[in-house]
Structures are given as structure tokens and as C-alpha cells.
């Protein structure tokens, strides 16, 4: 699963990101695959990191694990591409 906290896969504050993790229809999940937003803050924990992203679709700020997003338009070297053709 993804590139958890690898330096070459980390996003930065101000980056545009796209959600790439499949929507699992969990009640608590307010974002879905393909959502685009801007990173406002990054929180690092011992085993994982979370980005707070303002999603353009909803206008809300959501905490999303870094595993679930990539920079818009970038390859993340993990087999997923940020380009949607």
C-alpha cells in the first residue's frame, strides 16, 4: 500500500493533491477517490502522517492519511499516477 512517509512521496503545505485510495463507503469517510484539494497542514505521528486538505468538491477541510493522496500530476513512484487521462 502506498509510500508511507517516504521522502520522495511526501507532499508539502500548499500542494494540490488528489485522493487515490478507493472509496470504501465507511460512514466516517467524507472524501472519495478523485477528490482534489490543497494541503493546509501536515501532522506526523510515530507510524504515519496525515494531511489536512481543503477539498474543492465539498469546500471542507478533511484529515486524510498521506497514503491516500498524491501530488496532482506527479508520479509517486508507487505505481499510481496523478494524471487522469
Domains of the chain by range and CATH? 7-71 (2.30.30.40)
Q: How far, in Å, are 1, 56, 63, 66, 70 from residue 38 at the CA level? A: 22, 8, 12, 13, 11
pLDDT of residue 17: 96
Tens digits of per-residue pLDDT, 24-63?
667 777 888 899 999 999 999 988 899 999 999 999 999 9
Contact 80, 24 (CB under 8 A): no
User: Beta strand pairing status for 49-55 and 36-44?
Assistant: antiparallel
Amino acid at each position: 500500500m502506498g509510500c508511507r512517509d517516504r521522502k520522495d512521496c511526501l507532499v508539502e503545505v500548499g500542494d494540490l493533491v488528489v485522493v487515490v485510495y478507493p472509496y470504501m463507503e465507511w460512514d466516517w469517510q467524507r472524501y472519495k477517490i478523485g477528490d482534489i484539494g490543497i494541503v493546509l497542514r501536515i501532522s506526523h505521528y510515530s507510524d504515519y502522517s496525515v494531511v489536512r486538505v481543503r477539498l474543492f468538491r465539498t469546500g471542507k477541510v478533511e484529515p486524510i492519511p498521506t497514503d491516500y493522496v498524491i501530488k496532482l500530476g506527479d508520479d509517486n513512484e508507487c505505481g499510481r499516477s496523478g494524471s487522469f487521462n
